[in-house]
Amino acid sequence: MTTLKNPALLKTYLVHPSTSSANSNDRDNNNDSNDNNDNAKRVDVNNPFNGEVIGWVPSHTKQEVEQAVANADSVQASWAAQTAEARSDLLMQWADLIDANLDDLATIMTLEQGKPLKESRGEISYANSFIRWFAEEGKRIYGDVIPAPKASQRISVLKQPIGICAAITPWNFPAAMITRKVAPALAAGCTILVKPAMQTPLSALALQQLADEAGIPKGVLQVVTGDSATVGDVFTQDARIKKLSFTGSTAVGRTLMAQCATTLKKLSLELGGNAPFIVFADADLDKAAEGLIAAKYRNAGQTCVCANRIYVEERIKDEFLAIYLPKVAALKVGNGLSDAVDIGPLINNQAVEKVTSLLKDALDKGANLLTGGDINPLSERIVNPTVISNVTADMDIAHEEIFGPITAIATFQSESEVIAKANDTLYGLAAYFYTKDLARSWRVSEALEYGMVGQNTGLISTAVAPFGGVKQSGFGREGSKYGIEEYLIVKYWCQDIG
Ligand code: NAP
């Protein structure tokens, strides 16, 4: 286990070199005051690169999750009553502590998630940008005064915190998917409970520890860990929770939406994607190839906005591949803890099986393997960067989220043809296209049925812009001035002063 600069960070949960398993006597009551030393209530956390146990987290029971809701309930009113400025100051102090511990947080993330250290550092900074953005945005929750139809009337609109919130987050961005829910919730005056994915719960607990140290009152932010169905039941059924924000797969999103029906919770769903990446013949091909590397291979292809279906205009296909393939060959795979590495392991064996079976199906149906296609000897979970061409609509890879390092290239002849192909999916999260033509820019960006469109760029995520999807990629927006609205209710106030 790599040593952290701050030995107090997660000291309870990390496995240290001198111990073969986590030391139960070392535990503090950071967020699990109700659990005991029973090993049955612990879940190991593994390094996806080599399978080593790097730590553990509690498996909270239903009663413990309900107690966490009660804790939130007991401080919800006092947190909402604080001034926006006071909440902002605490969020800023949290952000300062995250910056001060950035290297350690990145190390923890790489150990539990596998992504290269440089990406982990980038994610911690990205995660922190949401805290700083919403610390400011909380001071700008303005209502309205509306001209009334009667002289004696006054009409006002108040924006108020919705109340206790819950968040369920995935493993591919163990910090940023948390802060982009927690920061707006806290800034708006809501308390929040967070259930991180059980592959990557340590980053969440480290963030919680730093929030506690920053002085965010106990009960305002609570991370609960354990069986997802148990936690999910409480998060969706408990009427004290007013809002659920979920990031993860479309299948689980559907289940949670159905479960929330009984308590009619406000919902935000950030679900799966199937992003098209279109290269028109007039594009800057160097820039397009660079953008595709970023949009395809970040996090080993495991992002919801990863380019999934690549459409290259037929007449420039060879030219584009001549630029693109050497860039893929230059990607360095390995243990994410090495700074030189560009691509680490996939999260687990099921992910490897899914990616290899999508590849096999495509090759069986006539795709051409241009590079990669095999497992790297360094780790059974590293799939070498792969490029296939001649992808057709009958292949599974053309419809499913790949979530792995495979570039699947198809060709097209006309703008209308490629727009129809790009929109031929249940998903609508991110789409990318490359062109220098101004009129086409408008036509294509308006025609794409997606929540986010990147033109001449493969990187679109930022705290200042609204992130979210349409169709079966979900609804709700995170980041930007829109993100805080998800945690507010609109109250219309009509007065007769005559
Ligand atoms: P997942 O299987 O849906 O899991 C996401 C979270 O839901 C995890 O915390 C998981 O907990 C929990 N969960 C699973 N079943 C549950 C249930 N029945 N009740 C309550 N919670 C439950 O997704 P994933 O494989 O972790 O993440 C990858 C997916 O997330 C991809 O589809 C990706 O596109 C999507 N994603 C979307 C966005 C976006 O902003 N749109 C961003 C990132 C990722 P456990 O891990 O403990 O089972």
Task: Say yes or no to pLDDT of 24 above 60.
Answer: no
Residue 426 class from Cβ within 10 Å (0-12 exposed, 13-18 middle, 19+ buried)?
Answer: exposed
Out of 57, 126, 168, give the residue to mutate to test ligand 1, the one with the largest number of ligand atoms within 8 Å of its CB. Answer: 168
Interval 274-315: pLDDT, tens: 999 999 999 999 999 999 999 999 999 999 999 999 999 999
- Rounded to an integer, the average pLDDT of 374-394 is 98
Percent of the chain exceeding pLDDT 70 equals 95
**Ligand 1 center to 172 CA (angstroms):** 9
304 belongs to the catalytic site: yes
Strand partners, 427: 471
When pLDDT is cut at 50, 70 and 90, the band that residue 21 belongs to is very low
Interval 206-232: pLDDT, tens: 999 999 999 999 999 999 999 999 999
**Ligand 1 center to 195 CA (angstroms):** 10
- Rounded to an integer, the average pLDDT of 426-434 is 98
Say if residues 428 and 449 touch (Cβ distance below 8 Å): yes
Interval 349-365: pLDDT, tens: 999 999 999 999 999 99
**From 39-53, 249-263, 374-388, 466-480, the region with the lowest mean pLDDT:** 39-53
Residue 294 class from Cβ within 10 Å (0-12 exposed, 13-18 middle, 19+ buried)?
Answer: middle
Q: Which of 119, 123, 137, 270 is catalytic?
A: 270
Neighbours of 307 (CB within 10 A): 29
pLDDT at 22: 40
**Ligand 1 center to 271 CA (angstroms):** 8
**454 Cβ inside 6 Å of ligand 1:** no
**423 Cβ inside 6 Å of ligand 1:** no
pLDDT at 28: 37
Task: Say yes or no to pLDDT of 35 above 50.
Answer: no
Say if residues 299 and 119 touch (Cβ distance below 8 Å): yes
Residue nearest to atom 20 of ligand 1 (CA): 232
Distance of CA 302 to the CA centre of its chain: 10
**302 Cβ inside 6 Å of ligand 1:** no
Q: Is the pTM of this model over 0.75?
A: yes
Interval 398-407: pLDDT, tens: 999 999 999 9
**272 Cβ inside 6 Å of ligand 1:** yes
For 416, the token pair is 């209308």
Mean pLDDT computed over every residue of the chain:
95
pLDDT at 335: 97
- Rounded to an integer, the average pLDDT of 9-24 is 64
**198 Cβ inside 6 Å of ligand 1:** yes
**Ligand 1 center to 487 CA (angstroms):** 21
Q: Which of 165, 190, 260, 304 is catalytic?
A: 304
Residue nearest to atom 35 of ligand 1 (CA): 248
270 belongs to the catalytic site: yes
**Ligand 1 center to 393 CA (angstroms):** 27
**255 Cβ inside 6 Å of ligand 1:** yes
- Rounded to an integer, the average pLDDT of 470-480 is 98
Residue nearest to atom 21 of ligand 1 (CA): 228
